[in-house]
Amino acid sequence: MYPLLFRTVLSRMDPESAHHAAMAVIRLLGVPPFSWAARALTRPDPALHTRTRALGIDFDSPFGVAAGFDKDVVGVRGLAALGFGHVEIGTVTALPQPGNPRPRLFRLIPDRAVVNRMGFNNHGAEAAAARLRRLRRRGTRMRIGVNIGKSRVVDVADATADYVRSASLLAPLADYLVVNVSSPNTPGLRGLQAVETLRPLLEAVRDASGATPLLVKIAPDLPDDEVTAIAQLAVELGLSGLIATNTTIARDGLATDPATVEAAGAGGLSGAPLKARALEVLRIVRRAVPSEFVVISVGGVETAADVQERLDAGADLVQGYTAFLYRGPLWARQINRGLVRR
């Protein structure tokens, strides 16, 4: 039924409005008895399992939700009920901010892709910390990563202190913490990926994060040698892992009408067109790091075969986001059952 609903209703809605409507349903699915019904639909045969271990903790499935879907820690319980093994909330900034002006989210339906220039819209680190505390008090089993970024009003020169503030508030409440220096939608942010500027930033956030596993998220647009250099830096600094990759600023080889692509404008492209480069970056990173170093792969993942391909290429965990828009609420169930069969 979902493909019909998407074609006839959702695809005609403003994408951001459709996302908010979906999040309202997902929040409802986190509340009994709706959560019980959702779990009954989405869990694979209990005699089988997709459990995996990474970052020193157990995950019910290697497949989770990438950052950007639940920016403000409002849908965690519903996403758990839908069968995802973890959710990476955020990107959270130290200061609350509205993000870029709307419209800022665009579908490229022929490519099963999305362009976004959201601009880290979120309620800030203190609000996210308060919601995480409530979740922890309720004893949620969902594994929760927290993705942190630079507040827009903070100069790049002062970015380290801004990240450290977010880390201090959120690391104690997270299963893992991610330093996002790769979004194309915050001016100057991607410049922080240069090794000479990234080193002091990661050192400071690492020290502020305590025992919480720390990862860094990189862009797919980096040259291969810079991908290797960042991966090696992360190992040298004692980080727990790396996430490959964020969205891309490239627009090569798209099937969507060029006028539609041009109308969407600037922003990060995600979805199926990112698949090949995300897999390539995963393999580059895996060759550059030791086996115990965790690599989370994201970008262009849609099917159980895609997830298995990433696992076979050395990913410890796999994340998706864009295909959720095209596959619907049973997406995680389809992935998990496909992994069991494989």
Binding residue ranges for substrate:
71, 116-120, 180, 185, 246-247
Tokens 């609420």 — which residue? 329
> How many C-beta atoms lie closer than 10 Å to residue 276's C-beta?
13
Nearest to 75 by CA among 34, 103, 43, 105: 34
Per 3-state DSSP, the chain is made up of helix, strand and coil in percentages (nearest 5) of 45, 20, 35
Please give the Cα distance from 21 to 106 (Å, whole number).
16
Q: Are 108 and 114 in contact (CB under 8 A)?
A: yes
Nearest to 53 by CA among 235, 316, 290, 298: 316
Instruction: Evaluate the CA torsion angle 122, 123, 129, 135 in order and state its sign.
Output: negative
* DSSP 8-state class, residue 39: H
Active site residues: 183
Distances in whole angstroms, Cα of residue 312 to Cα of each of 42, 282, 283, 297:
24, 11, 10, 11
Q: Binding site residues, as ranges?
A: 67-71, 91, 116-120, 147, 180, 185, 217, 245-247, 271, 300, 321-322
Do the bridges between strand 214-218 and strand 176-180 make them parallel or antiparallel, or are there none, so unpaired? parallel
> How many C-beta atoms lie closer than 10 Å to residue 84's C-beta?
28
Please give the Cα distance from 220 to 281 (Å, whole number).
7
Helices then strands, counting H and E runs in the chain, come out as: 13, 13
Q: Binding site residues for FMN, as ranges?
A: 67-71, 91, 147, 180, 217, 245, 271, 300, 321-322
